[in-house]
Structure 1
Amino acid sequence: MAADIPPVYAPDTMAERVKACVICHGPEDKAGRDAYYPRIAGKPEGYLFNQLRNFRDGRRHYRPMALLLEGLPDQYLREMALYFASLQQAFPPPEPMTASPAEVALARKLITKGDSVRKIPACVECHGKDLMGTAPFIPGLLGLPRVYIIAQFGNWQHGALMRGQTPDCMSEIAKQLTTGEISAIAAWLAAQPVDESLKKADSGATLPPELARRCSSVVLQPGESQ
């Protein structure tokens, strides 16, 4: 009779607990359908906490995420957010530029200057001058796949991303942009290399008062509700 085999226990660490997250959001190269799963390593802690809470509470809709987070308390979500925010992982290489010179010029204008006539702020006003995010709540825009960026804009335009959040600044902005402008912005962002020395979000930047008002839905503090 074979000897009893002792049970093997997994280590009780956050790295072990979030393995289900890493299946989709891991550092592996993204291709095909996997390109729709964004990089979360190194994102601002406050941003990650708010997104986890939004998925859990049904304000941001994606059923697999809602099922994974169902019933988890805020404190545990904060621990998850802190863990992923602390990860240091290399960024993927930039994608080939798919935009024409005219589209590149258009993307640069919208990203760095915005469009005052349509009240579209420049991306750098919220996401930082290096587009690496503004701690603790605004994520970086570099290192993301082009198809993911386009999909997010589409979700904002059609109200499929965030539910019951007013004001929702990105929804307001996305609805002002044309399909061509979104395509140009996504192509330009995805083609930018990431300076590894700048891969942390800017912790010293603050949103201009008007943008802070418009974007109040993305800067909820832990413990606040909407």
Structure 2
Amino acid sequence: MVLFFTHSMTTWAHKVPDTLEQRLKACTSCHGVQGRAGTDGYYPRIGGKPDGYLFNQLKNFRDGKRTSPMMTYMVANMSEDYLRDIATFFSNQHPPYAAPQKTDIPPALLERGRQLVLHGDEQKKLPACIACHGQKLTGLAPFVPGIAGLPRDYLIAQLGAWQTGSRHAAVPDCMQSIAKKLGPEDIGALSGWLAMQYVADDGVAEAFSGKVKGHFPLACGSIPGS
């Protein structure tokens, strides 16, 4: 028996708009609306991160320099132009930051984290985090990300990944060099202190002032001209 429908299928099917924002729903399912970060403490905030940094990370996932089966699967067949579009989209999102994480880290360890972030450790030849990530720790556009207010679990995981080589970037890989000088307590201290920091406004990355050459304490392959 043949059934004849008097209404078009389009009266029942919801037409999904073919926009970049709609396509990137796959990203926000983990990274949160506007890339503001998920609630499980592992996925990082990507909204408002500098576009050059986001583009580099997408390329690194695609090319195997960073390991995440889900991320690699999603970007494996994307062109560089499409990756730039994604990076630009999320760079232009500026949702408010979540409240800082509360931790039960001992005060002495938190103080160690504060010292490392603001002053570094001359004995270990570790530069201060603010020397690269900006005085407000919100990053330097277009290539350096903000690190204040990131989830502690995520920070620990990424520092560990640099130490083991499962995350690396363009040579010279400045972050891998730094991470390998950190002991377990240093990583716990850094991640705990950074996760507790309140980020005012929308945490917009600062712009470079002056020349890139000589601005950073280490040459970094991800920052052209450093």
TM over 0.5: same fold? Answer: yes
- Over alpha carbons, which structure has the higher Rg? 2
Deviation track 1:2-60 (CA, whole Å, cap 9, x = no partner) reads: 333225432121110111111111147744xx322111001001000111111111222
Q: Does 1:124 align with 2:127?
A: no
Which of 17, 41, 44 in structure 1 is aligned with 2:47? Answer: 41
The separation in 2 between residues aligned to 1:185 and 1:149, in whole angstroms, is: 8
Distance 1:212 1:101, change over 3 A: closer
1:96 CA displacement: 1.0
2:183 is matched with 178
Task: Normalising by structure 1, report the TM-score.
Answer: 0.87
Deviation track 1:109-140 (CA, whole Å, cap 9, x = no partner) reads: 11111112222110000000000001000000
1:91 is matched with 97
User: Matches of residues 10-89 of structure 1 in structure 2 within 5 Å?
Assistant: 10-27=16-33, 30-31=38-39, 34-89=40-95
The separation in 1 between residues aligned to 2:224 and 2:81, in whole angstroms, is: 15
Distance 1:29 1:220, change over 3 A: closer
Runs of 4+ in 1 over 6 A off after TM superposition: none
**Larger relative contact order, structure 1 or 2 (CA cutoff 8 Å, min sep 6):** 1
Name the SS for the 2:141 alignment partner: coil
2:150 is matched with 144
1:196 CA displacement: 1.1
Which of 192, 196, 199 in structure 2 is aligned with 1:194? Answer: 199
Name the SS for the 2:206 alignment partner: coil
Q: Does 1:156 align with 2:162?
A: yes
Which of 161, 166, 172 in structure 1 is aligned with 2:171? Answer: 166
1:107 is matched with 113
Distance 1:156 1:74, change over 3 A: same
1:166 CA displacement: 2.6
CA contact 1:113–1:122 (8 Å) conserved in 2: yes
CA contact 1:50–1:220 (8 Å) conserved in 2: no
Deviation track 1:38-93 (CA, whole Å, cap 9, x = no partner) reads: 11001001000111111111222212111111221111111111100001211111
CA contact 1:134–1:202 (8 Å) conserved in 2: yes
Mind listing any 5+ residue stretches in structure 1 that lack a counterpart? 222-226
CA contact 2:131–2:217 (8 Å) conserved in 1: no
CA contact 1:42–1:84 (8 Å) conserved in 2: yes
Deviation track 1:157-178 (CA, whole Å, cap 9, x = no partner) reads: 1111127x43211111111111
Identity in percent: 41
CA contact 1:135–1:203 (8 Å) conserved in 2: yes
